[in-house]
Amino acid sequence: MNDDVRTLTRQLADDPASLAFLDLAELLRRRGQLDAALTVAANGLGRYGDLADAHALHARILAERGDGDAAFDGWMSALQLDASHQGAHRGLGFLYYRSGDLPRALRHLEFAAQAAPGDGGLRAAIERVRAAAAAPAPAPESSRAALLPTSRATPFSLDEESGNPAEAEVFAGLDGARDGLLLLDQHGLRLGGGIRDEDGADVSDTVAAHLAGISREAARAARLLGLGEWQSVGVECDDGNAHLVAPTAETILLTVRDVSVPAGRLGLIADRAAQAARRWLEGLA
Amino acid sequence: MNPHASVLKRVSAVRGVRGAMLVSAPDGLVVAEALMDDVDGRAIAALAAALAARLRRAAGSAGLGSPCVIHLRGEAGALLAVPAGEELLLVAVGDRETNLGLARLELLEAARSIR
């Protein structure tokens, strides 16, 4: 267990009425321990139901778990308590964007920007949503279009300000964007994202080096075993789960989560991440 | 009769599984197998051991601990591998109709019985 988590857990155990639940739930969320984060946030919310931050954090965790409806309710509750809550406006903007309601998305993002005028990531998101809103409306969905990945690339992250918009975009909207996702090339060089070990140390380059050429190895194994084209490699471990997919023929995306995220769900998260990574890579070309 | 035969037979009985085998993890050699005729046991053993070794190193570096289950998914089927102690690897190959959940459980149970 990370020292910070241990310290906050102890602090909360010593004083259950403490606001330490906010820091603990946020820390767990960033580590990808969403179930634990949700439990801590929900307990805190039970005690501090009039705290907008508690509602917003609870909603954020719900959103990352894929429960958009509950997240929407949570962020709305936060706004009822604090009409200018930056996190709630950002979260609602994210949800509205994903649902295709660009005017509402833009409105909430602009509210969020008023509360955080120095947030470059937010400004970039607003610009992208404006650009998307100005683009011609898409043609009615054909059967072919329905088979393609969604064209509504998430233009911004729920995460706080990012110093690297390009990298943030790769992992936009994905759980634990900065930790637990690693995009590398077939030579084992990191392209984006990062992996931290249980002590918080950045082990991205080491992990990437170990995974150099694994795409070719998996492809060869699948072909020789009569499995066709390889699609993914899942690894369930004692202390976490990992999932490998190839966004393109030359890249590998590793997604890592703790054991509370079942292997099947991790596969879905990884597939979404691969779609986002593909779009980013296409943008570089 | 090989003492592992009954364990492998049980894994192979899962719907869609084309074969199961016990592999020596360090060198990728077949220890025991229960495979359909069209499955090349030596190739599976070597490939599974190499893949497992590489993933074990990567997982260790990432702080994930030791792999318990490895799942290579292809468009026409899947390979499942479960370590049975330090030296052995239980492997099953299935087609796209395989009940992967059941195969996984059988492999884990088989690995426990072999350790």
Query: Mean pLDDT lowest for which of A128-142, A179-193, A263-277?
Result: A128-142
User: In the predicted model, what is the mean pLDDT of residues A22-46?
Assistant: 88
pTM (2 decimals)? 0.58
pLDDT digits (tens, 9 = 90+) for B1-31: 566 788 888 899 999 999 899 999 988 898 8
Q: What is the DSSP string of A179-214?
A: SSEEEEETTS-EEEEE-B-TTS-B-HHHHHHHTTTH
Q: Is residue B41 part of a domain?
A: yes
User: In the predicted model, what is the mean pLDDT of residues A171-183?
Assistant: 60
Q: Is residue B14 part of a domain?
A: yes
B71 close to B108: Cβ distance less than 8 angstroms: no
Tokens of A209: 């080096």
Which residue ranges form the domains of chain A, and what is each CATH number? 3-144 (1.25.40.10), 165-284 (3.30.450.30)
The whole-number pLDDT of residue B76 equals 93
What range defines the domain where residue B76 resides? 5-90
Q: Which residues of chain B have pLDDT under 70?
A: 1-3
Q: Is residue B38 part of a domain?
A: yes
Residues in chain A: 285
Q: How many other CB atoms are found less than 10 A from the CB of residue A251?
A: 19
The whole-number pLDDT of residue A2 equals 54
CA separation for the pair A252, B75 (Å, rounded): 17
CA separation for the pair A179, A28 (Å, rounded): 12
CA–CA min distance B5, chain A (Å):
21
CA separation for the pair A28, A37 (Å, rounded): 5
Largest CA distance in chain B: 41
% chain A with pLDDT above 90: 15
User: In the predicted model, what is the mean pLDDT of residues A170-176?
Assistant: 45
CATH code of the domain containing B82:
3.30.450.30
Q: Which of B39, B44, B72, B93 to mutate to test the interface with A (most CBs of A within 10 A)?
A: B72
CA separation for the pair B67, A239 (Å, rounded): 9
CA–CA min distance B58, chain A (Å):
5
CA–CA min distance B24, chain A (Å):
17
The whole-number pLDDT of residue A49 equals 87
In chain B, which residues have their Cβ closer than 8 Å to the Cβ of A224? 40, 43, 47
pLDDT digits (tens, 9 = 90+) for A123-169: 877 887 888 777 765 443 333 222 222 333 444 455 434 334 444 44
Extended beta strands in chain A, E state: 181-185, 190-194, 230-237, 241-245, 251-257
Q: Is residue B99 part of a domain?
A: no
Q: Is residue B104 part of a domain?
A: no
Angle of helix A86-99 versus helix A68-81 axis, rounded to 10: 140
Q: Mean pLDDT, chain A, as a whole number?
A: 78
Q: How far is CA A235 from CA A65, A141, A258, B80, in A?
A: 20, 37, 12, 10
ipTM for the assembly: 0.92
CA separation for the pair A78, A261 (Å, rounded): 27
Q: How many structural domains are present in chain B? A: 1
Q: Is residue B114 part of a domain?
A: no
Q: How many other CB atoms are found less than 10 A from the CB of residue A259?
A: 18
Per CB distance under 8 Å, which residues of B are interface residues toward A? 38-40, 43-44, 47-48, 50-51, 54-55, 57-59, 61-79, 93
The whole-number pLDDT of residue A63 equals 86
